[in-house]
Amino acid sequence: MAPRSIASGTISFGLVSIPVKLYAATEASAGISFNLLHAKCGSRLKQQYVCPQDGEVVPRDAMVKGYEFQEGKYVTFSAEELKALEQASTQAIEIAEFVPAEKVDAIYFEKAYFLGPEKGGAKAYRLLAEALRRAGKAAVARYAARGKQYLVLIRPASGRLVMQQLYYADEVRRVEEIPVDEAELKEPEVQLALQLVEQTATDAFHPEAFRDEVKERTLSLMERKIQGQEIAVAPAEQPRAQVIDLMEALKASLAAAGPARAPAGEGAAAGEPAAEPEARKPARRAPRDEAPKGRAAKK
C-alpha cells in the first residue's frame, strides 16, 4: 500500500522551486495506555477543569489563554491575537546553506520526514538529490508550517530526500555542563575495553534485530488477564555487585562475550598486535509507516 502524503511544500534551491510532498518517515509504536476508572462501579472517569479560587467547573468556552510574565500575574490573549503571533504557514522550505552531512551532530535531530516530488517536479527533485549525494552535503533550511518556523536538514538517501527536523541551538544543552570527575586511564584497561567493543561489533546497524521486549511481555500478561488468569509478580532482579576491580570486570565481560583475546602487551610479544576479532552479525528477526508538530505540546 503506497504511503499517503501528510503535507505539501516547496523547496527553494537558488532560483529553482521544487514542489514536494511530505511523508511520515516513522510510525510510532502503539503505546500501552490505561484509563482511570471509578473503583466502585468501573465507569471511566472524565477530566474537568476546576477554578481553584471559587471551585467552579470551567467549560472550554469560558477559558482564555494567558502568559505568566511574573509569578501569579498573567497577560491574556484573544483568538485573533494568538493568530497574529503565528508564523505565516507558507509551506516554503527555504535552503539557507549547505554543510557536510557528517558535521551535523545527531543530538540536533528531532523528527524525520520523507520528501517526494509533486507532479512536474521529479527532474528538479532528482537533480537536488544527486547534487547533494555527489557533494557529500546536506541542506540547512527554514520550513514555515503550522504557524511556526522550523529548522530542518535535507539530506539524500537512496536517490530520494529526507527532511530532518532539527532543534534550535538554544534547545540543546551543552554536553560540557555534565560533571565528570577526573580519572586516570591505564593503557591495559583501554586495550581490554577496545577488545570488548570489537568482540561485539557488527559491520552495520541492523534495527530489525531489536524488539520492544518489555511491550511484548506486557501485552502477553495483559492477554492472560483478559482471559481470566492471574498475573504473578515477577521477582525483583537482584542488584549487580558494584565493580571494584575494573580490569577483572573487563576480563569477565570478554569471557562472557566469547573467546578471550590477549590485549596488546599482555600474553604476546612486545610490539605484537592483538589478533583481529571476527565481526559477528546479530540474529535477524522479523522487522516491525504528520507535518512537524510544535514543541510546546511535547514538553
- DSSP letter assigned to residue 103: G
- DSSP letter assigned to residue 116: E
Range of the domain at 279: 184-232+245-286
- φ, ψ of residue 147 to 5 degrees: the values are 75, 15
* Residue 263, pLDDT score: 43
| Same domain, yes or no: 166 and 123 | yes
| Same domain, yes or no: 12 and 139 | yes
* Residue 243, pLDDT score: 58
- Report the interhelical angle of 246-257 vs 187-199 (nearest 10°): 20
Whether pTM exceeds 0.75: no
Pairing between strand 109-117 and 16-24? antiparallel
| Same domain, yes or no: 19 and 167 | yes
| Same domain, yes or no: 127 and 214 | no
* Residue 240, pLDDT score: 66
Residue 123 lies in a domain: yes
Into how many domains does the chain fold?
2
Q: Which of 119, 143, 171 is the last residue of a domain?
A: 171
Residue numbers of the chain with a pLDDT score lower than 50: 260-289, 296-299
* Residue 264, pLDDT score: 42
Given a contact cutoff of 8 angstroms between Cβ atoms, the answer to whether 250 and 189 are in contact is yes
Percent of the chain residues topping a pLDDT of 90 = 37
| Same domain, yes or no: 16 and 152 | yes
Q: Which of 142, 171, 200 is the last residue of a domain?
A: 171
Residue 267 lies in a domain: yes
Rounded Cα distance, 126 and 160, in Å = 7
* Residue 157, pLDDT score: 94
Residue 78 lies in a domain: no
Residue 281 lies in a domain: yes
Given a contact cutoff of 8 angstroms between Cβ atoms, the answer to whether 291 and 25 are in contact is no
CATH code at position 160: 2.40.290.10
* Residue 285, pLDDT score: 41
| Same domain, yes or no: 167 and 228 | no
Question: What dihedral angle (degrees, nearest 10) is formed by the CA atoms of 104, 110, 116, 120?
Answer: -80
Residue 39 lies in a domain: no
| Same domain, yes or no: 161 and 188 | no
Q: Which of 171, 193, 215 is the last residue of a domain?
A: 171
Span 243-286, pLDDT tens digits: 567 788 888 888 887 654 444 444 433 334 444 444 444 444 44
| Same domain, yes or no: 126 and 190 | no
First to last CA, the chain: 34
Nearest C-alpha neighbor of 65 from the set 44, 45, 81, 88: 81
Residue 167 lies in a domain: yes
Rounded Cα distance, 31 and 222, in Å = 13
* Residue 33, pLDDT score: 82
**Residue 124 burial by Cβ neighbours in a 10 Å radius (0-12, 13-18, 19+):** middle
| Same domain, yes or no: 208 and 166 | no
* Residue 117, pLDDT score: 95
| Same domain, yes or no: 91 and 134 | yes
Given a contact cutoff of 8 angstroms between Cβ atoms, the answer to whether 141 and 96 are in contact is yes
Residue 91 lies in a domain: yes
DSSP assignments along 18-74, one per residue: EEEEEEES--PPPP-----B-TTT-PBP----B-TTT-PBPPGGG--EEEEEETTEE
| Same domain, yes or no: 117 and 201 | no
| Same domain, yes or no: 124 and 199 | no
Residue 35 lies in a domain: no
Q: Is the dihedral of CA 104, 106, 108, 114 positive or negative?
A: positive
**Residue 116 burial by Cβ neighbours in a 10 Å radius (0-12, 13-18, 19+):** middle
* Residue 90, pLDDT score: 78
* Residue 1, pLDDT score: 65
